[in-house]
């Protein structure tokens, strides 16, 4: 069971990194670009990526806790 949790943790972490990098690319400023203080409403793919980031973050924390619990 511990091996399956470790594999799940790796997969979720890879997906999380990909989704975060896609969000940065959508902004058009690059990975180390400047941030703007302007308020914008998320729409379309940007909103979906944001929601996926939240969901994957929660899943990653849960899987990490399970990994420590069953290790």
In a domain, 37, yes or no: no
Q: Which domain holds residue 57?
A: 2-30+42-69
End-to-end CA distance of the chain: 9
pLDDT at residue 68 in the model? 92
pLDDT at residue 38 in the model? 60
In a domain, 15, yes or no: yes
pLDDT at residue 7 in the model? 95
pTM here is 0.76
Q: Which is higher by pLDDT, 53 or 33?
A: 53
In a domain, 22, yes or no: yes
In a domain, 54, yes or no: yes
In a domain, 35, yes or no: no
- Please write the tens of the pLDDT for every residue from 8-51: 999 999 999 999 999 887 665 555 555 555 666 778 888 999 99
Number of structural domains the chain divides into: 1
Alpha-carbon distance of 18 to 60, in angstroms, equals 14
């Amino acid at each position: 069971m511990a091996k399956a949790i470790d594999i799940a943790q790796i997969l979720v972490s890879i997906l999380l990194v990909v989704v975060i990098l896609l969000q940065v690319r959508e902004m058009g400023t690059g990975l180390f670009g400047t941030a703007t203080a302007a308020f914008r409403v998320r729409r379309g793919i940007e909103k979906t990526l944001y929601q996926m980031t939240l969901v994957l973050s929660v899943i990653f924390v849960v899987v990490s806790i399970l990994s420590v619990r069953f290790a």
